[in-house]
Structure 1
């Protein structure tokens, strides 16, 4: 097995392990949290599946983007949220019901919406784009549904064991993720620099900032809802985006552009979280 394959495997195991810990802590009520709030659900779907794809269409039309950048942004815009987000801001590691419910809903919805979105993009861009529902279903099941269900089963049938698994599994997953990302950066940093020109960085910044603004606005007055939807709208599932890009353009190398997006998104997301956490302090200080 090559180094690249090992890195991808390590990151996949890290994601599966993280989602498994969500299952260890989740309840049926958590999964149905967003379903019982149809207004919030509709705004969430609108932010991620309508506003962001339209923004990418505008970027592709008005900016002279290289093909890898245009393809990656298009794939990201129609991909669901990444499985690393559903944690409460103020309680590290605890599960946010809104984030967890949205993770599952958007993952399942993407099986239908991704092929439909690519059909629309094919018509707009006059290029044959495709995505088999089977490929999306496989990623959704293996990376989200299966580990989440496994964690909930362990919590259901071994309730005394489940709480003791959360911290060690999360730590191993985080270690694998950090090592995998560092190795990936070490192997692609030159290619990342080469892909940073021709409006690429500007387009990625626009994508992330617009996602944060749109998600925060449509998240509503509840700070936790606004923060979760902002991060979810700006951050997308990299595995699904890469699969879509590679399927439609097998000769292109999309990893450097995708890694550049992850770097920019991480930096801007951290700044947003810092701003979001400072708001109550500022308001209380003003009083």
Structure 2
């Protein structure tokens, strides 16, 4: 028992440190000007928020209802569903024909609103699954605010008032956070491997359905412009695994939940890459200056 408690404490601290560094990298890479991209487009902003904070959690509820999955998988799916705003969105969409400015605005906006929306959804899920997610919303709010709001605000402040320092810190901080995230995902998969084996194929089924649902929701709400549609689909499908792991390690003792989150994160990354490559191949002969015109806006 002491060993398990020590391991849980280590994983919790590791996940929270990873999230803090990744959120700091968001603020350093963006700035207040980039955040306003979505805010100047209320229709697109509304669709993005609907996709991230409403339809994805509802899709998770539907998957949990349709697929007979055990406790750990249900909770892991629910936690991932309520955690948008992954730190990798902006850099992930710098390549190809996506809109980096839209990706950055989506990333920061959803990450900031998660401070309010995650506790709300945690409260809703606690009512729906009373034996699975009995976590006080105030506790979740405090955890998200400390791990996400503070580092984003710090990064934005540095970018605004010390831009040269932000340029120097941006890449090293992001690389460190990405390295830590890969490490914590691998560590969790190794530690929770017995639970994964016992659960069988159900996490895979849930991960595939969840990844597909996130991409489809973003695709159809991304608007008629191909670049915007691609950006919102991939951004919506890239959930914040760092925040999900931080919440899970702090509130749930079952390692199977962590394994489920890691499984969802890996499948979402693969699904996003496949979708992006296939979707962009639909427009190989088009003129980027016209088809992807919003890139300049």
Query: TM (normalized to structure 1)?
Result: 0.80
- Is 2:155 the counterpart of 1:143? no
User: What is residue 233 of structure 1 aligned with on the other side?
Assistant: 236
Q: CA RMSD in A?
A: 3.4
Provide structure 2 residue ranges, at least 5 long, that are not aligned to the other structure: 288-297
Rate the CA distance shift 1:91–1:15 in 2: closer, same or farther, 3 A.
Answer: farther
User: What is residue 224 of structure 2 aligned with on the other side?
Assistant: 221
User: What is residue 63 of structure 1 aligned with on the other side?
Assistant: 67
Rate the CA distance shift 1:244–1:131 in 2: closer, same or farther, 3 A.
Answer: farther
User: What is residue 284 of structure 2 aligned with on the other side?
Assistant: 281
- Is 2:100 the counterpart of 1:89? no
User: What is residue 36 of structure 2 aligned with on the other side?
Assistant: 32
Q: Is the contact made by 1:111 and 1:133 (CA closer than 8 Å) also made in structure 2? A: no
Alignment of 1:246-257 (within 5 A): 250=253, 253-257=256-260
The C-alpha deviation readout for 1:14-40, integer Å capped at 9, x for no partner, is 443333333233232212221221111
Deviates more, 1:52-61 or 1:119-128: 119-128
In the TM superposition, residue 129 of structure 1 has moved relative to its aligned partner by 4.8
Rate the CA distance shift 1:73–1:25 in 2: closer, same or farther, 3 A.
Answer: closer
Alignment of 1:65-80 (within 5 A): 65-80=69-84
| Alpha-carbon separation, structure 1, partners of 2:139 and 2:242 | 11
Rate the CA distance shift 1:190–1:221 in 2: closer, same or farther, 3 A.
Answer: same
In the TM superposition, residue 270 of structure 1 has moved relative to its aligned partner by 2.0
In the TM superposition, residue 211 of structure 1 has moved relative to its aligned partner by 0.9
In the TM superposition, residue 212 of structure 1 has moved relative to its aligned partner by 0.5
Alignment of 1:1-287 (within 5 A): 2=6, 5-6=9-10, 9-87=13-91, 89-91=93-95, 96-121=100-125, 124=128, 129-197=133-201, 199-242=202-245, 250=253, 253-281=256-284
Q: Is the contact made by 2:222 and 2:233 (CA closer than 8 Å) also made in structure 1? A: yes
Deviates more, 1:97-106 or 1:124-133: 124-133
SS of residue matched to 2:62: helix
Q: Is the contact made by 1:136 and 1:240 (CA closer than 8 Å) also made in structure 2? A: no
In the TM superposition, residue 66 of structure 1 has moved relative to its aligned partner by 1.4
In the TM superposition, residue 46 of structure 1 has moved relative to its aligned partner by 1.5
Rate the CA distance shift 1:138–1:237 in 2: closer, same or farther, 3 A.
Answer: farther
In the TM superposition, residue 73 of structure 1 has moved relative to its aligned partner by 1.8
Provide structure 1 residue ranges, at least 5 long, that are not aligned to the other structure: none
Rate the CA distance shift 1:228–1:145 in 2: closer, same or farther, 3 A.
Answer: farther
Q: Is the contact made by 2:51 and 2:221 (CA closer than 8 Å) also made in structure 1? A: yes
| Alpha-carbon separation, structure 1, partners of 2:151 and 2:200 | 35
| Alpha-carbon separation, structure 2, partners of 1:10 and 1:128 | 23
Rate the CA distance shift 1:138–1:275 in 2: closer, same or farther, 3 A.
Answer: farther
Equivalenced residues, count: 282
SS of residue matched to 2:223: coil
